[in-house]
Amino acid sequence: MAETRALIIVDVQPTFCEGGALAVEGGNATAERIADFVTENADKYAMIVTTQDWHVNPGSHFSEDPDFIDTWPPHALAGTAEAELHEAVASLPIDAAVKKGEYEAAYSGFEGRDADGRFLEEILRAAEIEEVDVVGIAESHCVKETALDALKAGWPTRVLSDLTVPVSEELGIAARTEMDEAGVEQVASMSAFGFYEEGEDAPIPGDDASLAGAIGGNAYGSLYGSDGRYADGIDADAYGEEGTLRDGDPHSDGGDRYDGLDEDGEEPDLAARLTAGLGAGLSLSSEAGDVDLDDFDIDIDEEIDFSDDADETDFDFSDIDDAPTL
């Protein structure tokens, strides 16, 4: 929820993008995707925090002969343009920023401090954050370590998987496995905030009660708008006081409005209600799964083989002008 969730944008800096000292392939594109996501979803976060590598003299973290595991070529040098936030991220509505690694290696954003000397954990607790999302560069290193530390500190944590990128695919797989085993949730950004609120059950396809609720308990379903109008624009005033349609209304069948009851004065089952709303042409079972093909000018060979072993000899397209090629 917006008032309890924080977004941590990890190390989205030019030094880790194409053209930088320690470039990760796909870094610039990841920065742009993060910017687009935040632009659309900033209001869903109580706080947006950035982290930055900000190296002054990190000791053995730098090496002239790096192994790219524990030692690295010089990068993110404090005060240089490469150490600043990527231009796609710098203009976003950022609530707090921490820098890490001045005099030693630092992979997790939770090792960083803000300008007042507060660690990231202090900042989040002061804001009463209850959940954390993590994005940034690189998934296999600083994003992973930041997510794991957030989880260890007690926050339910998600990594938005399409808003991060690993140093290599192999290391990315290893990082995702480690996070998964630890309990970090990994979701695509498009699924981060679904239509249904947390804890609310989505309608289950084929479930009568859910489907009835989805169409508002109205036999016409989507024929009515939420404002009492038909979807085709006919106003509710088309009805007379006795519940009958005015003369000439195309929804009338002999002038009587469908009132949700069958001819015996009882509420029909879902199939009947849907059929009344959708019109003739489909025969719906209580599971809304059967279609009466006799209502369509289609010849179906009952002997058709629909198994995986079927080939073109099992299908007769002679009655169709543009027969498909199998």
Any idea how long the chain is?
Answer: 326
| Owner of token pair 């917006």 | 2
Contact 39, 32 (CB under 8 A): no
Q: In the chain, count H helices and then E strands.
A: 7, 6
Which structure tokens are listed for 174? 């290893």
User: Minimal CA–CA distance to 47: which of 91, 6, 9, 2?
Assistant: 6
144 given a catalytic annotation: no
Q: Which of 17, 142, 144, 149 is catalytic?
A: 142
Rounded distance, CA 27 to CA 165, Å?
7
| Owner of token pair 């930041």 | 146
For residue 300, give Cα distances in angstroms to 290, 304, 306, 322: 15, 8, 12, 17
Q: Which of 11, 53, 133, 149 is catalytic?
A: 11
For 167, left (φ over 0), alpha (ψ -120 to 50), or beta?
alpha
- Tell me the sheet residues that pair with 9: 50, 135
11 given a catalytic annotation: yes
152 given a catalytic annotation: no
Q: Which of 53, 100, 133, 149 is catalytic?
A: 100
Query: Where are any strands of DSSP class E within the chain?
Result: 5-10, 47-53, 96-100, 131-137, 157-165, 185-187
For residue 316, give Cα distances in angstroms to 55, 289, 292, 301: 71, 25, 20, 8
Just list the catalytic residues: 11, 100, 142
